[in-house]
Amino acid sequence: MARINPKFTTELQSYGAFDTNACYNCGNCTAVCSLSDEDNSFPRKMVRYSVLGLENEIQTSLEPWLCYYCGDCSTTCPREAEPGELMMSLRRYLTSKYDWTGFSGMLYKSLSISVIAFVLLAVGVIWFASSLNFEPELLLHYGHYFEMSAIGSVFLLILFPNLIRMWNMVIRKPKVNVSFSAYLKSFSELIVHMFTQKRTLGCDDSQTRWFQHLILVIGYLSLLFTTVFLDWFATNSSFILILGYLESVVIFSVTFIFMIGRLNKKTQVSKNSHPSDWFFVIWLFLMGLSAFVVRLFIDLDILETNIWMYLIHLTVLVQWAVIIVPFGKWTHFLYRSFAMYFEKLKSLSVS
C-alpha cells in the first residue's frame, strides 16, 4: 500500500523535470528504449513513480542510472512528456539524496547558490594567493599540494560516505540478500563500467557519443594523473611534457565539440540542458585549456610575469574539485558505475 503524493512532481521540477504529468502510460518510451529489458523496464516506471510521488520506490531504484539519455523516448513520446529529461532529473534528485551534506540538492535547485559558491571559491583562491604575495613558486607548490589532498579528502569525506548511503538505499534497506562472494565476483563489472561506460553502446544512435565519452574519460583521468602524480607543471621529462599537452588538447577539443552540440541543440540530449550540465562541460573545457596554457607559459618562461594565468587555472581547479566533483555532475559518472555494480548484485541476490 502506498499513499500518493501529487506534490512530488513540483519538487522534481526544481531538478529540471517538466511535462512529466502529461504521460498517459502508453509505455512507448519503455518499448523504444534499447537499454530496457524485462527486469529493468524503464523509463515509464520511473515516470509513473514520479507522477504518483512514490519517493521510496524511486530512491530504491537504479533505473535512472541505467539510462544514458539517447533521447529516443522523448522524441517518440506521443504526449511529449519528456521521459528522457525526467530520467536526467531523477539522477540529479538521487544524487542529492545520496549526498549526506545536502549541498548537491542546494546547488541543483538554485542557480544563484551555485554561482555564489563559484564566486566565493574564486575570491578564496585570490585571497590565499595574496597572502602568499602572489609568489609563483609558492603558488605552484601549494597548488600541487592542494591537488593531492583534495582528491583524497573529497573521496574520503564525501564520495565514499555517499556511496555507502546509496548502497544503503538500494541494497540494504529494501533487504536485497547478497552474498559476500557476489560482491567480489561482480567487482570487475564496476571497474569495466567505470572506465569504459560501455553500456552507452546499447543506445542505438550513439556509437560516436560513446567514443567521445571514452576519449574524454581517458583524457581526463590521465591528465589528472599527469598533473597530480607526474607533477606536470614541475617536470623536466619531455615525455611527460608532451603527454600532458596531448591530454589537455584532447580534453578541451572533445568538450568543445560537446558544447557546440549543446549550442546547436540538435540532438534530443542537448535540447533541454540544466545549468549543472553546463558547469560540467565548461569547467572541463576550462581545465584542459588553462592547464595547457599554464604549461605553455612555463615553457615560454613567461609564467612568472603572468602569474594571473596560473591563478585562473587554480581557481578552475579548486572549483572543480570542491563543487563539481563532490556535488555536481561528475558524481553521476561514479554513481552510474556503482549502479551497474549494484544492479549486478541485485541480479545475483537470493530472493
Partner 1 sequence: MKKKIGVYVCHCGGNISDYVDVEKVRAEIEKDESVFLSKTTMFACADSNQKDMVTDIAEKQLDGAVVASCSPTLHLLTFSAVAERAGLNKYNYIHANIREQASWAHSDDKVGATKKAIQIVKAAVAKVKRSNALEPFRVAATNAVAVVGAGIAGLRSAIQLAESGAQVYLIEREFFVGGRVAQWDDLFVSNETGKELITRLYDRAMNHKNITLFTGAEIIENSGSVGNISLKVRISPRHMKLDCNEGNLGRAIEVCPVVVPDKFNFNITTRKAIYHNFPGEYPQLPVIDMEHCTRCGECEKVCENVDFSQKDEFLNIKVGSVLLATGFDPYEPKDDEFGYKTIDNVVTLPQFKRLVHYCDDKLVYKGKEVKNIAYIYCVGSRQVDGENKYCSRYCCTATIHAAITAKKKYKDLYNFHFNRGIRTYGKQEVLYDESSRLGDIYLQSFEDHPPVVSKEGDKTIVTINDILTADKTLEVEADLVVLVTGMVPRQDNSIGSLLKIPRGRDNFFNEIHMKLRPVETVIDGVTIAGASQGPKNIMESMNSSLAAATKSFSLIAAGELALSPTIAKIDVDNCLWCGKCDDACPFNALTKTDVDGKQIAVVNGSVCKGCGMCMPVCPSNAIELIGYTDDQIESMIDALVSTD
Partner 2 sequence: MSEKKILEYDVLVVGGGISGGEAALNLANLNYKVLVVEKDLSLGGKMIALSKVFPTLDCAACITTPKVSEISRHPNITIMFSAEAKKIDKIGEHNFEAHVHQKPRYVNIEDCTACQLCEKACPVSVIDEYQQGLVGRKAAFIPFSIASPRAAAIDIINCTLCGACERVCPTGCIDFTQTDNDFIVKTKAVVVATGFNLFDPLKIPRYGYGKYKNVITSMQMERQLAPTRPFNTILRPGDGKMPDNIAYVLCTGSRDKSVGNPICSQVCCMYSIKQGQLLMGSLPMADVTIYYLHIRAFGKGFNEFYDQSKDMGVEFIKGKIGNITEKENGNLILRYEDIEEGKVKEAEHDMVVLSVGVMSNSEISDSFQGESLRLDDYGFINQNDILASPAETNIDGVFVAGTATGPMDIPDSILSAGAASAETTSYLRRASL
Distances (CA, A) of 163 to 100, 335, 346: 10, 7, 16
Bridge partners of residue 40, in order along the sequence: 37
Comparing CB distances to partner 1, the nearer of 3 and 175 is: 3
> For residues 259-271, b (16+ Cβ closer than 10 Å) or e, as one string?
bebbeeeebbbbe
Q: Which partner in partner 2, partner 1, none is near 213 (CB below 5 to 8 A by kind)? A: none
| 168 near partner 2 (CB under 8 A) | no
| 346 near partner 2 (CB under 8 A) | no
Comparing CB distances to partner 1, the nearer of 66 and 70 is: 66
> For residues 87-110, b (16+ Cβ closer than 10 Å) or e, as one string?
bbbbbbbbbbbbbeeebbbebbbe
Least separation in angstroms between CB 23 and partner 2: 12
What are residue 156's phi and psi, to 5 degrees?
A: -70, -45
For residue 209, which of 200, 217, 218 has the smallest C-alpha distance? 200
Least separation in angstroms between CB 23 and partner 1: 7
Identify the residue among 14, 34, 48, 106 touching partner 1 (CB under 8 A): 48
SS3 state at 244 = helix
| 56 near partner 2 (CB under 8 A) | no
Q: Which partner in partner 2, partner 1, none is near 19 (CB below 5 to 8 A by kind)? A: partner 1
Least separation in angstroms between CB 71 and partner 2: 12
> For residues 25-54, b (16+ Cβ closer than 10 Å) or e, as one string?
eeebbbebbebbeeebbbbbbbbebbbbbb
| 2 near partner 1 (CB under 8 A) | yes
Q: Which partner in partner 2, partner 1, none is near 6 (CB below 5 to 8 A by kind)? A: partner 1
- Compute the distance between CA of residue 169 and CA of residue 175 in angstroms, rounded to an integer: 10
Identify the residue among 80, 137, 205, 299 touching partner 2 (CB under 8 A): 80
> Between helices 160-167 and 330-348, what is the axis angle to 10°?
40
Comparing CB distances to partner 2, the nearer of 1 and 300 is: 1
Identify the residue among 5, 10, 25, 305 touching partner 2 (CB under 8 A): 25
Least separation in angstroms between CB 4 and partner 1: 5
Least separation in angstroms between CB 25 and partner 2: 6
| 268 near partner 2 (CB under 8 A) | no
Comparing CB distances to partner 1, the nearer of 22 and 32 is: 22
Least separation in angstroms between CB 58 and partner 1: 12
Q: Count of alpha carbons within 13 Å of 216, Cβ hemisphere only?
A: 21
Identify the residue among 42, 49, 68, 335 touching partner 1 (CB under 8 A): 49
Q: Which partner in partner 1, partner 2, none is near 343 (CB below 5 to 8 A by kind)? A: none
Contact 205, 269 (CB under 8 A): no
Residue 83: cis peptide before it, omega within 30 degrees of 0 = no
For residue 200, which of 337, 19, 76 has the smallest C-alpha distance? 337
Identify the residue among 78, 102, 124, 152 touching partner 2 (CB under 8 A): 78
Binding site for partner 1 (CB under 8 A): 1-4, 6, 9, 19, 21-25, 45, 48-49, 51-52, 54, 79
Binding site for partner 2 (CB under 8 A): 24-33, 36-38, 41, 44-45, 75-80
